[in-house]
Amino acid sequence: MEELIAVFLGGQGWMVQVLSIVGLLRLTVKPIMEAIQAYVKWTDSPKDDSLVNKVIKSPLYTKFLFLLDWLTSVKIKK
């Protein structure tokens, strides 16, 4: 399979690395974010709920979601 990808990309090794990173991000980021949100909903502590809500409402998180969506097309619910 690697040989097929290498032939398809014309020996562009850097492109294989970029595609691997994008694929890895798509496989890991969304499940991690969903697990964090599920854990917060599952626990009784209001402290973690307020922390997660504060992070979700922050402008930095909004920019992070935009870049993540634009670069890797990973869509995470707000």
Residue-level pLDDT, tens digit, the chain, 78 residues:
677 766 766 666 677 788 788 888 888 888 888 898 888 889 888 888 888 889 888 999 888 888 888 877 767 766
The pLDDT value given to residue 9? 67
Rounded Cα–Cα distance for residues 28 and 47 (Å)? 26
The pLDDT value given to residue 11? 62
The pLDDT value given to residue 3? 74
In the chain, % helix, strand, coil (3-state, to 5) comes to: 80, 0, 20
The pLDDT value given to residue 2? 72
Give pTM, 2 decimals: 0.60
The pLDDT value given to residue 77? 67
